[in-house]
Structures are given as C-alpha cells and as structure tokens.
Amino acid sequence: MVDAAEQERARQALLHAREASQREIDAIFAQESLRGDYLCERLTDFVLAKFMLTREEAEGVDFQKLSQLSLAKSMKISRELVKEYDMAQGCAGTSSEIAKKTLLFMAIQKKLRLELPARALPRIHSFPELTALVLAAMRETEFWRPRLTAE
C-alpha cells in the first residue's frame, strides 16, 4: 500500500513533468524563426519531461529503451522486468512501451498542431530522427512554414 506522502510525491512529480513539457512547447511556439537544432533541443526536453527522465538517463538510448526506462522508473522496477512482464499484452499484443511511445507522438501532434505520418513513427529511434519528421510536418502546415529557418 502506498502511503499518503509517497502518493503526494508522485502527484508532484507528475505535475512537474506536465509543466516542464508544456514549457518546451511554449518555447517552440515563441520562436519567430525556428531552427532545426533549437527544435531538436526543445523536443528532446519535451520527451524527457513527459517520460520523467534526465538527459543523463537518456544518454545514448533509443526511443524504445526510453519508453522502457520511463515505465521502469514509474513502476520502480528494472527495465528488464518491464520488458519481461509487460502489463499491456492484453491490448491486441501492444506492449506498454509501444503504447507509451504512441501516446508521446500523439501528444507532440496535438501540442504542435500538426500531423505526423503514421507509417514513419515506428522508425523513429532518436531525437534527430524525431526532429526531422516534425520539421517535415511543419513544412506542410500554414502556421509553421513561414517560421522555419533554412539551415
């Protein structure tokens, strides 16, 4: 049983993650001239905030492992146990890792008001790949197109 103090710490951590991820989105929207390197940094920090991870924890880790790390951290078990005893296997064979990654991409689409090509999403393994996909989607939207800086 989780005590009240532990529950409050978890609630505060979730609130902090939501606020931190929103700050990254706000920073992207605040740019009049958006460069790819700036977008990559903001998207990286957005993902890490959503996953409640630090840059050190994410160093050299692909998106699949980031999902595992995030789940492991939130459930306070090892990444290996998350993979072995995935709790979402009943959802038509979709793992919790894939569900978490999918929800992340949906959040990016919603927050940035754009559409990412569904077929490309499973091939995203790094922050530069995510940035390239988001930039391509931004070039297709009237809102973002004039704000993008040629690099």
3-class DSSP string for the chain: CCCHHHHHHHHHHHHHHHHHHHHHHHHHHHCCCECHHHHHHHHHHHHHHHHCCCHHHHCCCCHHHHHHHHHHHHHCCCHHHHHHCCCCCCCCCCCHHHHHHHHHHHHHHHHHCCCCCCCCHHHCCCHHHHHHHHHHHHHCCCCCHHHECCC
Q: Which residue has the higher pLDDT, 130 or 14?
A: 130
Distances (CA, A) of 123 to 20, 42, 88: 26, 20, 21
Q: Would you state the pLDDT for residue 60?
A: 84
pLDDT at 100 over 60: yes
pLDDT in tens, 41-64: 999 999 999 998 999 988 888 877
What mean pLDDT comes out for the span 11-26? 91
DSSP lists the bridge partners of residue 34 as 148
Q: Identify whether the C-beta of residue 34 lies closer than 8 Å to the C-beta of residue 28.
A: yes
**Distance of alpha carbon 4 from alpha carbon 147, whole angstroms:** 47
The count of structural domains within the chain is 1
Structural domain of 124: 4-147
Binning pLDDT at 50, 70 and 90, where does residue 143 land? very high
Query: Residue 97: pLDDT above 90?
Result: no
| pTM of the predicted protein model | 0.84
Give the model's pLDDT for residue 93: 55
